[in-house]
């Protein structure tokens, strides 16, 4: 197995890890682990599902990607790391980015209750424009 060390943070960076990260970025759809696996396996048929799932989990835990939640039985991942929120369409299952309108929410929560906020995840749900128009 080929291993690369990132000089900035000295994290172990395998070829498989790079393949998974590149897939999340190129899919750019808030991909599920299954979607990432299918994408990587097209080019690298020897990679296992377990390897993809493990790398996604480790990368989310280390902050390289975001685990944005579990919708309809699948965890979704995002490569965009700046503060933003998500909208999930209840009809088609699409996940959309919403730029942060609540830039100070962490500070407000901390000030109200004295919490130390390390992260938060805010998800809106309903119907996307396309699905809403279909119903009308």
Residue 104 maps to which CATH number?
Answer: 3.30.1490.190
pLDDT at 82: 85
- Work out the angle between the directed axes of helices 15-27 and 33-43 (0-180°, nearest 10): 110
Sheet holding 123-126, edge to edge: 95-99, 84-89, 123-126
pTM score of the predicted model: 0.79
User: How many domains, in total, are found in the chain?
Assistant: 2
Residue with tokens 């906020």: 117
Give the separation between CA 73 and CA 80, rounded to whole angstroms. 22
Same domain, 90 and 63: no
Q: Which position has the higher pLDDT, 41 or 5?
A: 41
Domain enclosing residue 94, as ranges: 84-135
CATH number at 74 reads 1.10.10.10
Same domain, 98 and 129: yes
Give the separation between CA 60 and CA 76, rounded to whole angstroms. 11
Question: What proportion of the chain, given as a percentage, has pLDDT over 90?
Answer: 62
Q: pLDDT tier at 12 (50, 70, 90 boundaries)?
A: low
Does position 19 have pLDDT exceeding 60, yes or no? yes
């Amino acid at each position: 197995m080929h291993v690369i060390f990132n000089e900035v943070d000295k994290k172990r960076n395998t070829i498989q890890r790079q393949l998974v990260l590149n897939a999340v970025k190129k899919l750019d759809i808030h991909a599920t682990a299954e979607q990432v696996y299918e994408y990587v396996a097209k080019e690298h048929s020897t990679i296992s599902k377990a390897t993809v799932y493990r790398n996604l989990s480790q990368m989310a835990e280390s902050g390289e990607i975001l685990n944005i939640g579990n919708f309809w039985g699948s965890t979704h991942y995002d490569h965009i790391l700046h503060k933003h929120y998500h909208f999930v369409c209840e009809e088609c299952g699409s996940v959309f980015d919403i730029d942060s309108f609540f830039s100070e929410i962490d500070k407000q929560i901390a000030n109200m209750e004295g919490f130390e906020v390390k992260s938060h995840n805010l998800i809106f749900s309903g119907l996307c424009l396309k699905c809403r128009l279909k119903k009308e």
